[in-house]
Structure 1
Amino acid sequence: MKQFFKFMFASMIGMLLSFFIFFILFFVIVGALISSASGDSTKIAKVKDNSVLQIKLENTIQDRTSDNPFENFNFETFEAEENIGLDHILKNIEKAKNDNRIKGIYLDLTSLDAGMATVEEIRNALADFKKSKKWIISYAEVYTQKTYYLASISDKVFLNPAGIVELRGLATQLMFFKNMLEKLEIDVQIIRHGKFKSAVEPFMLDKMSDSNREQMQKLLNTVWENWLNQVATSRNFKIDEINMLADSLKIQDANDSKKYNFVDEVIYKDQLLAELRKRLAISENDEINFIGLGKYTHAKLPDSEKKLTSENKIAIIYASGNIVSGKSTKDDMGSETISEAIRLARLDKNVKAIVLRVNSPGGSALASDIMWREVVLAKAAKPVVVSMGDVAASGGYYISCAADKIVADETTITGSIGVFGVIPNMQGFFNNKLGITFDDVKTNTHGDIMTVFRPLTAEEKDIIQIGVEKIYDDFITKVAEGRKMTKEQVDSIGQGRVWAGNDAKEIGLVDEIGGLNKAIDIAKGLAKLTAYEIEEYPIRPDAFEELMKELSGDVEARMIKNKLGENYKYYQKMQTMSNQTGIMARMPFDLEIH
């Protein structure tokens, strides 16, 4: 018996020592990561003379670059993945324009994961860069329509001999769940306002309604027209010619791409490097001084120390993701987080203007209203300008409508002024598919209203419909006040219909066409500033707190994303649909354009 206890206690001590050593090593690694990230953010990068800014956009482009050392850290491979946001991409291109050490830009367009409006902002920044008389060249193995849209601004477009320029026009597909739900005996009870509010159509129909098809066609046509106009202007095409090539699918390989003038040369990578050396006037044995976006972010212009700083600030508040109540997460915009950010910017006497960067398809109507209130209060204190990203629809437009000015890109998806409620009835599924029944006890007639275990009564449907109508009326009233329109005018362009940025400007939902930089310039003018600093909100959480998030839900999500690859979007769609309960102000679909 003594031997037993002896070995047992020895094993326990060994386990405790192992855990202790593990935690020591864990915190050493964490500390090293935090220290490394902190050091990288303060260390000034050296830029050699005669350098080339290499722009690779392989990861998803978000509006705001994360300074969290763990967000882009892959815990499966224990490697950091560089991920630059749109804010730093635009700053770097502008910096390179005025940096005499940078002779040109090399667009390495292997892939591009971004919305059309984001790509448009990057393209506009590159067009501005060309005013410096510096060159831009692009190279890819395959140009998708999205990467080619960006590449077409280049002085020279090069393609791998085994590659192709994809040209087929735009298309989008929507998923419908009606038949699946019928087989599972799940009845999704829909209560909505707006004939175009098609967020609920996947539960009701097996194809698009006529009104939904109408708005989808209009939206795609507007985006495609913008693509055609920009590419035709840059590459000296006729629009009819591009459409003919797309309809006939005449471009089948790299030679066709050159034949029809979509690329300038068909070359291999070594030939591209020779072209770069020629432009830099260096010999074939000399090394090319490439500098990537990540490193260039930490570079300074030689005369930057001479610039005067200012106490005046313009606050940029990033409001991205599905709208939910509470605090923001990586993919969701929380009303508590964004409201606090707007409030802090309003109360800061040094902040002279606010730019609210909205990139959201909407979500909770209640959460949208909470943030709208803070925008109204901020507008009473100082100028507020909204900059719309890829999408600022429904709840995203709700929080935008009170601003002094609204700026959207030509291909921004906005509008979707409508409201709906989704209450699933799973009684048939539980009873007939699983053999599960439910019984209840309640003190009042409607004590169990909104339960998924029984259908709504006619009276309950009427009650919820009244609530939806009230929220819709409140929505269009606030839009009318913010946009100086009548409720009837808003209702005529509302009803849940979505619009591209260009069309939204024509009907009065948007004031100006442009990106984040345009919104900042407008805010500067409204505040009558000559010098200012940029202050970003929401304030970043503690790095260790971010680590704890990474070690919980975010790691799980990342592993699922790695396993599903391109099919992860369908998993996200199912997750979003399953979370849609209660009254929502959300865009009717998730649009993906290739």
Structure 2
Amino acid sequence: MRSFFKYVLATITGIIICSILMFFIMIGVISMMVSSVGAKTETVTASNSVLMINLDHEITEKTEANPFEGLDVPGFASTRSLGLNDIVSRIKAAKTDSNIKGIYLNVSGTGTGFATMKTIREALLDFKTSDKFIIAYSDVMSQKGYYINSVADEVYLHPQGSLDFRGLASSVMFFKEGLDKLGIDMQVLKVGTYKSAVEPFIMNSMSEANKEQVSSYLNSIYNTFLTDISSTKKISQDSLKSIANGYLIREPEDAKKYGFVTDLLYKDQVIAKIKEKIGVDEKKDIPSVSLIDYKNKANAGEAGGDRVAVLYAYGEIVDGEGMEGQIGGDKLSRELRDLRKDDKVKAIVLRVNSPGGSALASESIWREVDLAKKVKPVVVSMGDYAASGGYYISAAADSIFADPATLTGSIGVFGLIPSFQKLFNEKLGIHFEAVKTAKFADMDVDMDRPLSEEEKGIIQGGVNKIYQVFLKRVADGRKIDVAQVDSIGQGRVWTGEQAVKLKLVDRVGTLDQAIAAAAKKANLENYRISEYPRAKDPFESIWSTSKDKIKLWLLEDELGDYAKYLSEMKRISQQSGIQARIPYLVEIY
């Protein structure tokens, strides 16, 4: 018997040792694969080339390091993607690259906000000033896809394809009835008539106040959408509205009839036209390079010396370090602190694209923005969102730039505390009983009972206090009265264009314009633009990739666009503390 146990123990020990060895071997193999990818010779752009742009991937503010990108590693995402910073930089570089003769746009649709799309569109318009051509073609064009494609000199659609143009819409998913069936009551504590982030949990449809704000910002974005298309396609805005209202583009022929496309062609015919433009024999292939493989970037300025730092802050604001794609209060505060102390950095541009999140983390970041402003110029550039907590961290800046379609404001706070009494007691037959040493010891802990009125009053007092601090931060930063901030606050969401009139934003402008303004404030003529946080090397990214990020990759791989709804529900369930956040998941299509 003793021998038996000895052999079993030896076997188990061997298995454990082998498992550990295999783990390190696997990591080593993956690391070598990643290193080999990074060591690959950069794509050389041939002369007389066409830059091919397809935006069918997620577009974040800054290109995120994915150590498994381009690798066939089971269980890990291998999708290749670019951030907005690299998309714009590479289009700028192509403008002056003698090897690039034109751009071929193949954009069916894109899963990003209108502010991001407008930034790309502006970069393409700037490219056209080089007298190089842009040709767009797609089998199917969504409204967002057409918004990008409409910048082209010539737009072609498949003869049996489709072009969507019927106005913008925004819908909200409501959970109240489902929560009622589960026996979950959401206890809401908020400040702000328009702080509608809580509505999906306590209502089955929008409040009138929420309908008012959504209609207001949606129409503001729609006007920008129509204005931009009108300017490039030479179709009046009134005509565009009539076409959308009547849903007059139902067949490909309609798109040509109303001047939305140049012609209806098959792809081989479009290729023939491009060959003709660049003088390539019809039997030869078009020299081309995709935007992702095109390694040229716009000149970042003079090497060394004085710098303008562009610090990217995108995603939900969370306490602590956060993960990639989130704004960790501690992490961003540390980045701001380091830039404040760096004598080579003469100005800071904070690029904000955030729906908000933790009020506590927002206050910590605000503090560092305020301290930095006392040492050097700080300018904010807003992306798709800079709302609630996203606006909170922007308010202290010397100057704020926004896109016309940026969703901002949402100056308000809320707290959500679920009560599972009906679920536990009535549906599951589970009961809890607490023993406590003080009256409020089990407040917000014992979830099988609702809060008492006295407890609600205590928490509401905390919410009210944070709102007053929020109002003061905005009033001090924007140099307007607290009462005025309150009148345009109340949780209401505004577009960047509307926010300028309300003095929440200084001007409508691009990131480049924000950088130029920061440099001017710092009295800089020759300077280098440096991006932060610094990009991680692929090997470091392997070790820093969290299990949550890996699970998200797997989820997106299986569910595609539907993964965002599960991610949103998980985010809501993990919320803690008072939130300064934009209403729910805003999606415009």
Q: Is the 8 Å Cα contact of residues 302 and 528 (structure 2) preserved in structure 1?
A: no
* Deviation (angstroms), 1:73: 5.5
Aligned-partner SS, 1:381? coil
TM-score (norm 1): 0.94
The Cα RMSD (Å) is: 2.2
Q: Which runs of 5+ in 1 are unaligned?
A: none
Match of 1:435 in 2: 429
Question: For 1:553, which of 510, 529, 548 is the aligned residue?
Answer: 548
Deviations 1:136-189 (A, max 9, x none): 111111111101111111000011112111011011111111212222222211
Specify the alignment match of 1:482 in structure 2: 477
Give matches, 1:162-173, under 5 Å.
Answer: 162-173=160-171
Change (3 A) 1:321 1:24: closer
Partner of 1:107: 105
2:409, 2:504 within 8 Å by CA — same for their partners in 1?
Answer: yes
Counterpart selection for 2:418 from 421, 424, 430: 424
Q: Which residue of 2 aligns with 1:363?
A: 357
Could you tell me which residue of structure 1 aligns to residue 190 of structure 2?
Answer: 192
Question: 1: distance between equivalents of 2:453 and 2:333?
Answer: 37
Aligned to 2:451: 456
Deviates most, 309-318 or 557-566: 557-566
Q: Deviations over 1:235-290 (max 9, x none)?
A: 11121211221122221121111111111011111111111100101110222111
Alignment equivalent of 2:519, drawn from 520, 524, 528: 524
Residue 11 of structure 1 deviates from its aligned partner by 5.4
- % identity of equivalent residues: 44
- Provide the rounded CA distance (Å) in 2 between the counterparts of 1:91 and 1:500: 26
Pick the aligned partner of 1:407 from 372, 394, 401.
Answer: 401
**Distance (Å, rounded) in 2 between the aligned partners of 1:470 and 1:370:** 16
Q: How big is each residue's C-alpha offset from its partner over 1:466-525, in whole Å with a ceiling of 9 and x where there is no partner? A: 111111111111101101111111111100000011111111111121222221111111
* Counterpart Cα distance in 2 of 1:178 and 1:488: 34
Number of positions where the alignment pairs a residue of Structure 1 with one of Structure 2: 588
Change (3 A) 1:341 1:268: same
Partner residue of 1:57 out of 55, 58, 77: 55
Asked if the contact 2:67–2:539 (Cα under 8 Å) also holds between the matched residues in 1, the reply is no
Deviates more, 1:193-202 or 1:453-462: 453-462
Q: Which amino acid aligns with 1:33?
A: M
State the distance in 2 between where 1:569 and 1:77 align: 19
Q: Report the alpha carbon displacement of residue 296 of structure 1 after superposing the two structures with TM.
A: 1.4
Of the three residues 63, 67, 71, the one matched with 2:65 is 67
The answer for the alignment partner of 1:376 in structure 2 is 370
* Contact 2:46–2:288 (CA under 8 A) maintained in structure 1: no
Q: CA 1:11–1:234 in 2, change beyond 3 Å: closer, same or farther?
A: same
Aligned to 1:87: 85
Instruction: Give the corresponding residue for 1:27.
Output: 27
Question: Which ranges of structure 2 fall in alignment gaps of 5 or more residues?
Answer: none
- Higher mean C-alpha deviation, range 153-162 or range 182-191: 182-191
Q: Structure 1 residues 195 and 20, CA, compared in 2 at 3 Å: closer, same or farther? A: closer
C-alpha spacing 1:245/1:300, structure 2 compared with 1 (3 Å): closer
Contact conserved, 2:320 with 2:330, CA < 8 A, in 1? yes
Superposed CA deviations along residues 48-68 of structure 1, whole A, max 9, x for unmatched, are 111111111121000001234
**Residue 579 of structure 2 is aligned to residue 579 of structure 1:** no
Equivalent residue, structure 2, for 1:249: 247
CA deviations on 1:292-346 (whole Å, 9 max, x unpaired) are 122212x379xx79x8523111111111111111002123211001000101111
- Aligned mates of 1:592, 1:505 — CA distance in 2: 23
1:271 to 269, 272, 276: 269
- Partner residue, 1:116: 114
Note the C-alpha offset of 1:118.
0.4
**Residues 311/206 of structure 1: CA separation in 2 closer, same or farther (3 Å cut):** same
Contact in 2 for aligned 1:337/1:538 (Cα 8 Å): no
**Could you tell me how far 1:453 is from its partner in structure 2?**
2.6
Q: Bigger shift: 234-243 or 493-502?
A: 234-243
Aligned-pair distance for 1:20?
Answer: 6.1
Cα distance in structure 1, aligned partners of 2:469 and 2:305: 39
Q: Kindly indicate whether the alpha-carbon contact (under 8 Å) linking 2:109 and 2:144 is maintained by their aligned counterparts in 1.
A: no
1:454, 1:593 → 2: CA distance?
Answer: 38
2 CA distance for matches of 1:421 and 1:77?
A: 37
Distance 1:319 1:308 in 2: 25
Structure 2 counterpart of 1:19, which letter? S
Deviation larger for 317-326 or 544-553:
544-553
Q: Distance in 2 between matches of 1:458 and 1:71?
A: 53
User: Could you state the TM-score of these two structures normalised by the residue count of structure 2?
Assistant: 0.95
What amino acid maps onto 2:439 in structure 1? T
CA contact (8 A) 2:53 2:106 kept: yes
- Residue 588 of structure 2 corresponds to 593
Q: Distance between the aligned counterparts of 2:452 and 2:76, measured in 1?
A: 54
Is the 1:45–1:300 Cα contact (8 Å) retained in structure 2? no
Q: Does the CA contact (< 8 Å) of 1:315 and 1:535 recur in 2?
A: yes
- Aligned residue for 1:462, secondary structure, equals helix
Cα distance in 2 for partners of 1:149, 1:7 equals 70
Quick check: 1:345 aligned with 2:343? no
Are the structure 2 counterparts of residues 449 and 551 from structure 1 closer, same or farther at C-alpha, using a change threshold of 3 Å? closer
Equivalent pair of 1:105/1:137 in contact (CA under 8 Å): yes
How far apart are the structure 1 equivalents of 2:442 and 2:5?
A: 57
Q: Taking structure 1 as reference, are residues 5 and 480 closer, same or farther at Cα in structure 2, changes over 3 Å only?
A: closer
Match of 2:578, SS state, is strand
The residue number in structure 1 matching 2:466 is 471
Which residue of 375, 389, 393 corresponds with 2:387?
393
Amino acid in the other structure paired with 1:191: L
Distance in 1, matches of 2:16 and 2:414, equals: 55
